[in-house]
Chains A and B, each alone.
Chain A
C-alpha cells in the first residue's frame, strides 16, 4: 500500500497527547529542526496505525521526523528529536468553548 494512504493529520493524535500533557497540543506551534518550517502540530503529517502503540509525526514540508510517541506497558516515551522548539499556548484547554 502507498504509505500516503495511511497519512493522518497531527490533530488525530491530540487525544493521545492529552494523556500526558495538560494543555491542548494540536494547536501548539513548533519549528522543524531539519528545514526550519514553523507550523501547528495539528497540521503536520501523522502516521498512526490502528491498534498500534504509538505514532510518528513528520514535517509536512520536508518529511523529517518531528516527534515519536509510544505508550507501552507502564511507560510513555516521547521522542522530540526533530523539533528545535515547541510553543504551547497557556490556557489552551481543549474543552473550553472560547
Chain B
C-alpha cells in the first residue's frame, strides 16, 4: 500500500519509521498507607510522547525527581507503563512475550550512572563482558572472546589481554565506565540508553567518555538517549534536547535552537543557572526561580511550573495544562506564553 503524500511538517518526520516511539506514556507508582488501601500515586512520568529515529542522539535534561530516570527505566522495560505505549521497531512493548523481551533487551544497551556500582566486584572484566553473550546464546567460546576483544578495542581499552583478567576495583573510574560502555555495546544494540554516564567522573575524563560515546554513536549509527542534568555537556553530544519538569516534557528542540532561543521559562532558568568559568561570576548573583519542584503526588493544576514562574497568567496557567505549541522547525514548547505563535 502506498502511503498518501503528506504535508511534511518537520524534517524529522520525513524519515522513515521511528526506531522508538513513546506514546502518551504515564508511569505512576502507587503509594500505600500501612498496607490499607491507596494513599495516592507518584506521577513520575505523566503524558510523555516522542519519537526517536535510527542514528539520532537525544538528551533528556531535568533535575532529580523530574521523572527522567523513571522514563528511562520504562524504556528499558524495567517499569511497566501505567498508561500509554512504547513501540520499538513497529512492535508494541505491551504485547511482548518473554522471548520478545529478551530480544528487545539485546537491542537496547544501558550505560549506568555509577560505573563502580554497576560492575560486579567479584567478576573479572572478561566474565562481565561474557555474561550478556552467554545469555543471548553465543555458544562458541572463540566467538565470545572475539567479540569481547572487539568491544574492548572499541572503547579503547588496549592492550585487551592486560585488562581481561582484571577486577573492576583495579581500574580507574574512567576505565570502569569504558567497561560499562563495552558491556552495553557487546550485543550490537540499535539503541543506547545512557543515564548520566559522566556525572561520577572527573572533568578531564568526562569529555573523553562523551567523545567516545559520540564516536560509537556515529560509527554504528546508534540511537542514543542521553539522560543528564548538566546542560553544558549536551551540546557536544546530541542533536535534540528534551527538557523535563515534574514528569512532563516541557520543551523539545534541536540543541542549537534550545541554546539560542530557549522558550519555556524553566529552560531559561536552567540555562541561567549553568555557569561557565568566568571571573566576572563573582560579582553577580545568579537568577534562580523561587521554590522547589512540586510533589509528584499532588502536582499543581495547570502548568506544573506556574507556582515558580514569573510570567504566570492568572486564570490560565494555574487552571489549564498547556498544550504543545510550535515555535520553530522541530521546536515545541508546552507553555501558554506561546499560544498565539503559529
The answer to whether A binds B is no
B residues apposed to A, CB below 8 Å: none
